[in-house]
Chain A
Amino acid sequence: MDHWQNFSRRDFIKISSLFLAGSAAMSGSAGQAFSRLGQSGSGENGDRIVHSFCEHCFWRCGIAAHVRDGKVYKITGSEHHPLSQGKLCPRGTGGIGLLYDPDRLRHPLIRETKGGKQYYRKASWDEATGVVAEKLYGIHEKYGPGAIAMLHHGFGVSFFKQMFSQIGVNKFSKPSFDLCCGPARQASVLTYGYPSGTPEGFDMKNSKYMIFFGTHFGENMHNTAVQEISDGIRRGAKIVVFDPRFSTIAGKAEHWLPIKPGTDIAMMQGLMHVLISENLYDRSFVQQHTVGFGELWDSVRKMTPEKVAEITEIPAEAIRTVAREFAFNAPAALVHSGRRTNWYGDALQRIRAIHILNALVGNFKMPGGVIDYEKFSLKKPPAGHAHPPYERDVYSRYPFFAQDEPSNSIASHEVIQQAISGEIKALMVYGVNLPETMTLGRKTAIEALQKVDFMVAVDVLPAEVTGYADVVLPECTYLERYDALDAGRKYRTPFVALRQPAVEPMYDSKPGNQIAKMITDKWGIHGAFPATVEEGLDKTLRLNGSSLEEIKKTGVIVRPESDLYRKAGQPLNLKTPSGKIELASSLLRKAGFDAVPHYTPQPEAPEGYYRMLTGRKPMLTFGRTANNRFLGDVATAKENEVWVNAETAARHSLKNEEYVHLKNQAGVVSEFPVKVKVTQRIRPDAVFMVHGFGHTAAKMTWAYKRGASHNQLISRTDIDPAIGSVGFQNNFVTFIKEA
């Protein structure tokens, strides 16, 4: 990586000569000027109530932790936080199950070899962070900063980014981009000129007609989105769901259309065809505010409802009906882009097609349509050091990978491949349970973890990934620590939220902000972090007319709702090359890709095999809740099932609630058996199983051997050539009955 040339090597050696000299200066006592624990007055029974935000999923709702006798005994939704509005999903309430998980990592661990056998021994923080500092330093010296990478998932990572920026390491990967929301983010950039965020910019509260393609609202409990959809239903909004499975949201739909999996782009083209050929689209909007209409029409001209019906197995008349109703209700009508948008290798184009549908009916910045929320413009104190240009380097070789996200400069599968090829020698893994994360499947992930010279895991639980680490650093949970302010997100009412500790860290765990500071201190680099995390937060908040003491009371600062809707006659001035909504993307064309989306068929299942689809249970977020006994203590949460259509079940003589092993097209057999759910709620050519079960780490005593691992059965991935996202729905399974 040539950016390294710009970094002064001499300076660095000077710094490094101080290596380890920092140990004595480290561990300054935290926050004397501030009360260490969160406080915001007393609650119902004289409890202490601490307003903070959740970490069980990326929605990061506001919570109120109720503390009695030094223990968090319940968590409720914060009434002050705009994303929770007093409400919570099960996982929010379930924070106590993580905090008091008996399997939590309790001490720093260091890998040792004795008599040819490897084991972990307990270590002090001083020793463990010393080893991490030394190993990272050594690899940095020998191979340069490009040989170190960090995979991360979770809000607490900011301190480790700051730590790495001190030594010029910025190869950071956020697997959630590749596996979840990347296509939605980048399709929005290409079409509207800005990335989509969390919550996604859809005015569901005011919509009359909402179309979902395989988006499982209700099973994925995105709190505010579910609240808005419910408001919509109460107001009489109609819902349309295209999904091979009768999901919970399909159960609320006026039209559930069990589309053949993998044919969604064809359906979207069919809808475009009807909108255009029947002259239902918003002609003046399209003329004024979009480019590429002619090219779009050429691409969908032949996608008649009859042709699309053959591909998607949805009747032509239903396609016409949906297109007509969509146009009739526009602009208060929308097609939602969904959240986990990586299905196949053409994910970016699929989400582009969704945005094109929205643009055709002119719902952009209209009540009930597509909207762009506003960010809280948080003033920040000047950075500790000037940000050299290389900090914005992107290492991904995919042309439309995020270019403007410093925390995400390379795809997770590229990190894995570079680890296997030897380019990456050291990995820090923050909150990513790599062997159970869909990136190229379990086998490849383990190969990468075993190949690198040094791996350090920062985690709360002894997840599979921690077993491959040389050093394990136990972070305390989000209920025991401060983190950075949550201020980077757009919403109706722009906000800043505080994470503050409800209780002291348990065992010998530490907050990320202290861990990162300890390692940086051991490099001999001082002043990278404020003396205490509280001091840093207070400084920033004071720049914004508040203070730490002030924000602690409610956990948020909220600005009034901004005007989200466009005014007639005003140009959109978007940050696309044309300044308009790009129906045909000039950037895609320039890079040699299709400028408008085209349907391409996906491979069919081998005889006797079924396409493996996945999703969630509402009380579980994959790995983060897998070992949560509190959340597991409801019958429907205890294990995952494989959903099999009754006809398919009969073909394989499967009985309801029978346990089977699954075998995929590459011959991989599930480690553990899984319960069969015989149902009418899925197409006969597909099966469904929730991700995040079938854990093999015996130290996660609750999660161990519960259900089967969806991840283990991924042998094929389809990487989107434009953005590098990972599709994995071209995996097929069959059943092996118990002997």
Chain B
Amino acid sequence: MVIDTRVCVGCSACVYACKSENAVPEGYCRDWVVQETKGNFPNLSMENRSERCQHCENAPCVTYCPTRASHYAEDGTVQINRSLCTGCKACLAACPYDARFVHPDGFADKCSLCHHRIEQGLKTACVSVCPTGSLNLVDFNDPDEEAQKLMAGKVVYRQKEHSGTGPSLFWISASNKPGA
């Protein structure tokens, strides 16, 4: 995913769309919004981010899962096999992005990148709903021209890259000047 924080208004449409699409139980969410303000009055800056599982290339949750419930799917996304999960929470502790929770039914849960929709050729619920077009689904196995264009010439970062997780969410920084 390439997430353009320049346009995100932090409305949480993505959070609610995910909750109803994936029947996420009350009190939990698979994606969430961070509104980060820096500086002091009146010199302030803001970045809004819709955050979720980073579907890492080198995912600590997969490494530390004792039952192989957490695994890489063929498309490179990180998925959870609920029937293998014992709810031991090793993955919760391992994830540097705090992307997981234990479902009330006893298994670890998180963003699946709506694999059930992607299989049908649809976009994820969050990408489909986003009124600002902040969320962009990109197939990094086969990035097209448009994906390149999205990030070209802009300040783009990944979160906690130093941890060696190889996160596959790319963030277009809100600090980009207009017209970048």
B11/A683 in contact, CB under 8 A: no
B131/A227 in contact, CB under 8 A: yes
CA distance A369 to B16 in the complex (A): 34
What residues of chain A lie closer than 8 Å to B174, measured between beta carbons? Answer: 251-252
CA distance A205 to B120 in the complex (A): 32
Per-position binary interface string of chain B over residues 144-180, scored 1 when its CB falls under 8 Å from any chain A CB and 0 otherwise: 0000000000000000000000000000001000111
Residue of A nearest to B39 (CB): A680
Which of B11, B44, B130 is the most central at the interface, judged by chain A CB atoms within 10 Å of its CB?
A: B11
What residues of chain A lie closer than 8 Å to B139, measured between beta carbons? Answer: none
Per-position binary interface string of chain A over residues 279-322, scored 1 when its CB falls under 8 Å from any chain B CB and 0 otherwise: 00000000000000000000000000000000000000000000
B37/A633 in contact, CB under 8 A: no
Q: Could you tell me which residues of chain A, from 622 to 641, have a CB within 8 Å of some CB in chain B?
A: 629-631, 633-634, 636-637
Interface: A211 (CB within 8 A)? no
B46's partner among A238, A248, A630, A647 (CB-CB below 8 A) is: A248
Interface: A256 (CB within 8 A)? yes
A218's partner among B10, B39, B40 (CB-CB below 8 A) is: B10
Interface: B98 (CB within 8 A)? no
Interface: B89 (CB within 8 A)? no
CA distance A645 to B21 in the complex (A): 39
A230/B128 in contact, CB under 8 A: no
B130/A87 in contact, CB under 8 A: yes
What residues of chain B lie closer than 8 Å to A646, measured between beta carbons? Answer: 41
B129/A233 in contact, CB under 8 A: no
CA distance A89 to B4 in the complex (A): 17
What residues of chain B lie closer than 8 Å to A231, measured between beta carbons? Answer: 133
B20's partner among A73, A233, A637, A684 (CB-CB below 8 A) is: A73
A221/B131 in contact, CB under 8 A: yes
CA distance A226 to B122 in the complex (A): 23
CA distance A618 to B10 in the complex (A): 8
B41/A681 in contact, CB under 8 A: yes
Shortest beta-carbon distance from B27 to chain A in Å = 7
CA distance A96 to B128 in the complex (A): 18
Residue of A nearest to B9 (CB): A218
**Number of contact residues on B: which range applies?**
35 or more
B17/A254 in contact, CB under 8 A: no
B178's partner among A88, A219, A233, A249 (CB-CB below 8 A) is: A233
Shortest beta-carbon distance from B11 to chain A in Å = 4
Residue of B nearest to A222 (CB): B131
A233/B16 in contact, CB under 8 A: no
What residues of chain B lie closer than 8 Å to A164, measured between beta carbons? Answer: none
B178/A251 in contact, CB under 8 A: no
Residue of B nearest to A95 (CB): B20
What residues of chain A lie closer than 8 Å to B129, measured between beta carbons? Answer: 76-77, 87-88, 93
Interface: A246 (CB within 8 A)? yes
B12/A90 in contact, CB under 8 A: yes
CA distance A447 to B134 in the complex (A): 48
B7/A230 in contact, CB under 8 A: yes
Interface: A154 (CB within 8 A)? no
CA distance A73 to B6 in the complex (A): 32
A236/B178 in contact, CB under 8 A: yes
What residues of chain B lie closer than 8 Å to A237, measured between beta carbons? Answer: 178
Q: Could you tell me which residues of chain A, from 675 to 692, have a CB within 8 Å of some CB in chain B?
A: 679-684
CA distance A251 to B47 in the complex (A): 7
B16/A94 in contact, CB under 8 A: yes
Shortest beta-carbon distance from A15 to chain B in Å = 49
Interface: A44 (CB within 8 A)? yes
CA distance A298 to B132 in the complex (A): 43
The interface size of chain A toward B, counting residues with CB under 8 Å, comes to 58
A630/B19 in contact, CB under 8 A: yes
Interface: A619 (CB within 8 A)? yes
A251's partner among B4, B16, B45 (CB-CB below 8 A) is: B45
Interface: B137 (CB within 8 A)? no
CA distance A233 to B8 in the complex (A): 10
Which of B16, B37, B129 is the most central at the interface, judged by chain A CB atoms within 10 Å of its CB?
A: B16
B33/A636 in contact, CB under 8 A: yes
Given contacts A227-B131, A237-B178, A634-B29, contact A246 B10 (CB under 8 A): no
CA distance A237 to B179 in the complex (A): 7
Interface: B54 (CB within 8 A)? no
Shortest beta-carbon distance from A226 to chain B in Å = 5
A618/B9 in contact, CB under 8 A: yes
* A-B CB pair tally, cutoff 8 Å: 146
Shortest beta-carbon distance from B119 to chain A in Å = 11
**Which applies to chain A's interface (DSSP): helix, strand, loop or mixed?**
mixed
What residues of chain B lie closer than 8 Å to A96, measured between beta carbons? Answer: 20
Per-position binary interface string of chain B over residues 20-48, scored 1 when its CB falls under 8 Å from any chain A CB and 0 otherwise: 11010011010011010101111011111
What residues of chain B lie closer than 8 Å to A619, measured between beta carbons? Answer: 11-12, 16
Per-position binary interface string of chain A over residues 53-84, scored 1 when its CB falls under 8 Å from any chain B CB and 0 otherwise: 00000000000000000000111110000000
CA distance A637 to B131 in the complex (A): 19
Shortest beta-carbon distance from A400 to chain B in Å = 34
B13/A90 in contact, CB under 8 A: yes
Given contacts A75-B20, A89-B13, contact A248 B37 (CB under 8 A): no
What residues of chain B lie closer than 8 Å to A90, measured between beta carbons? Answer: 11-13, 15-16
Per-position binary interface string of chain B over residues 100-133, scored 1 when its CB falls under 8 Å from any chain A CB and 0 otherwise: 0000000000000000010010100100111111
Interface: A234 (CB within 8 A)? yes
Shortest beta-carbon distance from A241 to chain B in Å = 11
A226/B131 in contact, CB under 8 A: yes
CA distance A436 to B18 in the complex (A): 32
Shortest beta-carbon distance from B134 to chain A in Å = 7
B134/A88 in contact, CB under 8 A: no
CA distance A156 to B74 in the complex (A): 50
What residues of chain B lie closer than 8 Å to A681, measured between beta carbons? Answer: 37, 41, 44
Which of B9, B27, B44 is the most central at the interface, judged by chain A CB atoms within 10 Å of its CB?
A: B9
Residue of A nearest to B29 (CB): A634
Interface: A520 (CB within 8 A)? no
CA distance A221 to B9 in the complex (A): 9
24 chain-A/chain-B pairs, Cβ below 8 angstroms: A90-B12, A90-B13, A90-B15, A218-B9, A226-B132, A229-B7, A230-B7, A231-B133, A233-B6, A234-B6, A234-B7, A234-B133, A246-B42, A248-B35, A250-B46, A251-B47, A630-B20, A631-B16, A634-B12, A636-B33, A647-B41, A680-B37, A681-B37, A681-B44
Chain B interface residues (CB < 8 Å from chain A) = 4, 6-7, 9-13, 15-17, 19-21, 23, 26-27, 29, 32-33, 35, 37, 39-42, 44-48, 117, 120, 122, 125, 128-134, 174, 178-180
Which 5 A/B pairs are nearest by Cβ-Cβ distance? A236-B179, A251-B46, A218-B9, A618-B11, A230-B132
Chain A interface residues (CB < 8 Å from chain B) = 44, 73-77, 86-90, 92-94, 96, 217-219, 221, 223, 226-227, 229-231, 233-238, 246, 248-252, 254, 256, 258, 618-619, 629-631, 633-634, 636-637, 645-647, 679-684
Given contacts A226-B11, A619-B16, 14 further A-B contacts (CB under 8 A): A77-B128, A87-B129, A88-B131, A92-B13, A223-B131, A226-B131, A227-B131, A227-B133, A230-B134, A235-B179, A256-B44, A633-B26, A680-B40, A684-B41
